[in-house]
Structure formats: C-alpha cells, structure tokens
Structure 1
Amino acid sequence: MRHIFSLENTEDYNDYQRLTEEFKEKLSVYQRILQTDYQLIDLPKAIVWTTPELATSVFSEVPIPAFTNKGIIYMTPELTAWKRLFIEQLEGLDYPEIKAFYEQITSNQVLAIAGHELTHHSDLFLDEFDDVREDGIWFEEGMCDYLSRKYLLAEQEFMDISNIEYKLINIFKDKYGNHSLEDFGSSSYEGSLTSIMYDYWRSGFTVRYLVEKKFDNNVWKVFEQYHKWDREGRKVTLLEYFDVANLI
C-alpha cells in the first residue's frame, strides 16, 4: 500500500512526513492482522495524506477528513484538526467532561480512524464498499470502528471513547435519533456533522453490544450470523435478524 502526500507547500510536507512515520509502522502491523484473520486480500491502492481543507473541499465535500473513494483512502493526520472536529460535534452545548476528553485525545485516536478506513477493504463484508449499498451498512461501519479500535487503542482508550460516544448518543437522541439505523447510507451525509456522526456512534455501540454481550466476545460468531443472514436471502433487516432494532 502506497503512502502519498497531497499538500500545497514544503512546510506541510515536512510536518506530515514526520506525523505519518509512526502511523505507517503501526498500520502495517494492523494490516497483517487483517490479512491473517479478517480476509483482507485486496489492499487499498494508497493512503493519501492531506490537509483537512483539501480533504473536505477538494477531494470530497463531506465535513469529515477521512474517507475512502475508488480504492484510495484520503485522510488528514493532523491531531489538532481532529480535536476541533470532535469538539464541534457538541454543537456548542456545554458538556465540559466531553470537551475535555476530546481536547486530550492522542494520535492513537487518529490512527484508529485510519485503521477504520483500512478495515473497510476486508472481504468479510458482503457488499463492495464503493458500490451503492442499501442494507446493513451500519454493520460494516460499526465493525470497522470496533476492530480498528480494539487492535490500535489501549484497552482504557477503547473504553473511554466508547463511554463518551454513548453519552453523545443520549445527548442527541431526541434531535437525530428519529430514524432507523438501517437508514445509514449516502443520504446521511447530507446533514450536519453531528447528525452524520450520530449514526457512527450508534453503529459502533450496536456492534460492540453484539460482540461483547450477545456473542460473548466472539467476533467470528457475529460474522457467521451476518453471512447467514445474507445466505438466507436477507428476508428481514439485519437489525431485526440480530434482534437489535430497538437497542438504542
């Protein structure tokens, strides 16, 4: 997998090269785990490391500076940019504990975002990522979060971010929770940053519940049931199949 820099000046290049050196090494380790245990066969063509502004205005119009398009991952490694974005999720509401958490996140959290994008390329997921997808999208998004965080974050970091996102779900449930998680899809990106992230939080929470509670920490059993749902013809939604439609 190639690492490419798309930047507008030499100063940015020097900074980004330094920032991504550690990321490259740790992502290589995670890549081997995915290849060995999670059917990562076809790697992304490249990761394009770029600025938040280029990621969200030139390469995409989505307000989140990490995404995959046509087999290429685009992402900013800037920790300060991610801190600002995560704090923006509060929409100006006064939650000092959550704000303080995001102000203190480390580069590991950014690394896990890159890991999320890499995990999308696993062949364990039923649908091609760049194709139009209509059902079960929440499962892939939530599982990408779960696996990348489990392998790339320390246990306490994993617990902390999970707890913060659960609090955010409850804070914004009345405002953004009036639709099924099955509606997670391309239309989700037409909303605000927080409305987009709300479905990511819900997806991550649901997959974590499936793995850790319903299937006793056995991620493979979760994947087995996911594939069984597909083989049986997707007669009900995946949420209904897993009996988690009313989980949150």
Structure 2
Amino acid sequence: MKQIYAFETIEEITSFKEITDELYSKLESYKKLLEAEYALTEEPKGIFWTSEELATSVFSDIPIPAFTNKDLIYMSPDINKWRRLFISQLEGVSVPEIRKFYESYSSNQLLVILAHELTHHSDLFLDDFGDERTDSIWFEEGMCFYLPRKILLSNVEFTEITAVESELVKIFEDKYGNHSLDDFGGSSYKGTLTSIMYDYWRSYLAVKELVEDKAAGDIKVVFEKYHQWHKQGRTLPLTQFFHAEFM
C-alpha cells in the first residue's frame, strides 16, 4: 500500500508525517495476520491521508473521517480532531468518565480505526464494495471493529472501549434504538453523527457477544455460520439466523 497525502498546505503534511508513518508501520503486522488467517488476498492500493474537513466534505459526505472503497482507504490522522468528534457524539450528555476517555483518545485506538478500514477488504465478507449491503452490514461493521480491537489492543484497552460503548448504547437507546440491527444500511448514514455511531456501537457489541458468548471465542465459527446464512439464500434476517444457530 502506498501512502498518499491530500492536505491544503505543506505544513499539514509535515505535521502529520510522524503519526502517519507510525500508523502505517504498525498496520503492517496486522495486515500480515489478516493475510494469514482472515482471507485478505488483495490489499487496497493505498492509504489516502487527508484532513477531517476534506474527508467529510470533498471526498465523502459522511461525517466520519475514515472510510474505504475498493482501491483506497481514506483517513484523517488528526487525533485532536478525532477527540473532538467523539466528544461531540455525546450530544451534551453529562458522562464525565466517557468524556475523559475521549479526551485522551490514544494513537493505539486511532490505529484500530485504520485497521477497521483494512479489515473491510477481507474476502470473508460476502458483499462487494459496489453492493447495496443492506441486510448484513451490521455484521461486517461490527466484525471490522471486533477483530482489530481484539488483536491490537491490550486487555485493559479492549475492556475500556467495550465499557464505553456499552454505556453509550444504554444512554442513547431510547433516542436511536428503535430499529433492528438488520436495518443498518445506506440510509443509516443520513442521520446524525450519534445515530450513525449508535449502530456501530451495537454492531460491535453484537459481534463480540456472538464470538465470545455464543461461539466460545472462535471467530472462524462465526464466519462459518455467516457463510452458511448466505449459501442458504439469506432467507432470514441475519440476526434471526444467528439466534437460531446458537440457541
């Protein structure tokens, strides 16, 4: 993968060079593990480093400055902007411990976001980038967070981010939780930042439960069930299929 820089000033490129090189270097070992264990057969052509503003207003209209397509991963390396973004998703709710967590959001957590985008390129996911991806996007998005968090974070970091997102799901359930996980799709990205992130939080938590509680920690068993659902014609919503399979 090549590193490509798209900023409005030379000074921005220079100021982010250290963190982009660090993230790129750390991603390499994770990429090798995906290749060996999780069917990453064709990596994207490059990482397109850019600013939060350009990522969300020029290259995309999604309010999250990290996304991927068939050829490129787009991502802002500005950790301070990520911290402010995550604090804004709290919508002014007073949760001092969660706010403190996001105020000190680490480069290791930022690496997980980058690794999340790379994980989308695994051939274990059944829908192509051009597909509508409306009936199982929660599984792919949740797994794309679960895998890098489980692999790249320490046990303390993993427990901490899981606790934060579990609490956020509880806080915003009445406001944003009135639809099935199976409805997570293209229309989800037309909501507010928090409504979008709500579906990411609970997708991650749903996959974590599948792997750790239902499949005794065996990620590959969960993928096998997912492929079975596809081969049988997707006759049930994926949430119902998994429930039936793991009863």
- Whether TM exceeds 0.5 here: the answer is yes
- Percent identical pairs in the alignment equals 55
Q: Which residue matches 1:86?
A: 86
Q: Which residue matches 1:58?
A: 58
Give CA-to-partner distance per residue, 1:39-80, whole Å, 9 cap, x none.
001111211001111111111111100011342111001110
**Large movers: runs of 4+ above 2 Å:** none
Please give the alpha-carbon distance, in whole angstroms, between the structure 2 residues aligned to 1:48 and 1:217: 34
Q: Which residue matches 1:96?
A: 96
Measured after TM superposition, the shift of residue 28 of structure 1 is: 0.7
Return the letter of the residue paired with 2:170.
Answer: N
Please give the alpha-carbon distance, in whole angstroms, between the structure 2 residues aligned to 1:125 and 1:76: 25
Normalised by the length of structure 2, the TM-score is 0.97
Cα gap change, 1:157 to 1:130, in 2 (>3 Å):
farther
Please give the alpha-carbon distance, in whole angstroms, between the structure 1 residues aligned to 2:113 and 2:146: 11
Measured after TM superposition, the shift of residue 204 of structure 1 is: 0.1
Please give the alpha-carbon distance, in whole angstroms, between the structure 2 residues aligned to 1:204 and 1:184: 12
Q: Which is further off, 21-30 or 167-176?
A: 21-30
Please give the alpha-carbon distance, in whole angstroms, between the structure 2 residues aligned to 1:130 and 1:194: 25
Q: Which residue matches 1:180?
A: 180
Q: Which residue matches 2:112?
A: 112
Return the letter of the residue paired with 1:151.
Answer: I
Please give the alpha-carbon distance, in whole angstroms, between the structure 2 residues aligned to 1:234 and 1:57: 35
Normalised by the length of structure 1, the TM-score is 0.96
Q: Which residue matches 1:42?
A: 42
Q: Which residue matches 2:237?
A: 237
2:61 is equivalent to residue 22 of structure 1: no
Give CA-to-partner distance per residue, 1:176-220, whole Å, 9 cap, x none.
000011111110010000000000001000000000000000001
Please give the alpha-carbon distance, in whole angstroms, between the structure 1 residues aligned to 2:130 and 2:152: 25
Give CA-to-partner distance per residue, 1:123-179, whole Å, 9 cap, x none.
000111332112111000000000011122112111100110000000000000000
Q: Which residue matches 1:134?
A: 134
1:122 partner SS? coil
Q: Which residue matches 1:168?
A: 168
2:170 partner SS? helix
Please give the alpha-carbon distance, in whole angstroms, between the structure 1 residues aligned to 2:161 and 2:134: 28
1:4 partner SS? strand
1:242 partner SS? helix
Please give the alpha-carbon distance, in whole angstroms, between the structure 2 residues aligned to 1:146 and 1:193: 21
Return the letter of the residue paired with 2:115.
Answer: G
Structure 1 unaligned spans of 5+ = none
Please give the alpha-carbon distance, in whole angstroms, between the structure 1 residues aligned to 2:127 and 2:25: 29
Give CA-to-partner distance per residue, 1:212-247, whole Å, 9 cap, x none.
000000001000111111111111111001118xxx
Q: Which is further off, 229-238 or 169-178?
A: 229-238
Return the letter of the residue paired with 1:90.
Answer: L
Q: Which residue matches 2:202?
A: 202
Cα RMSD for the two superposed structures = 1.0
| 1:63–1:193 CA contact under 8 A, matched in 2 | yes
Please give the alpha-carbon distance, in whole angstroms, between the structure 1 residues aligned to 2:78 and 2:131: 29
Q: Which residue matches 1:75?
A: 75
Please give the alpha-carbon distance, in whole angstroms, between the structure 2 residues aligned to 1:134 and 1:184: 7
1:49 partner SS? strand
Please give the alpha-carbon distance, in whole angstroms, between the structure 2 residues aligned to 1:189 and 1:32: 31
Task: Say how many residue pairs are matched.
Answer: 244
| 1:16–1:49 CA contact under 8 A, matched in 2 | no
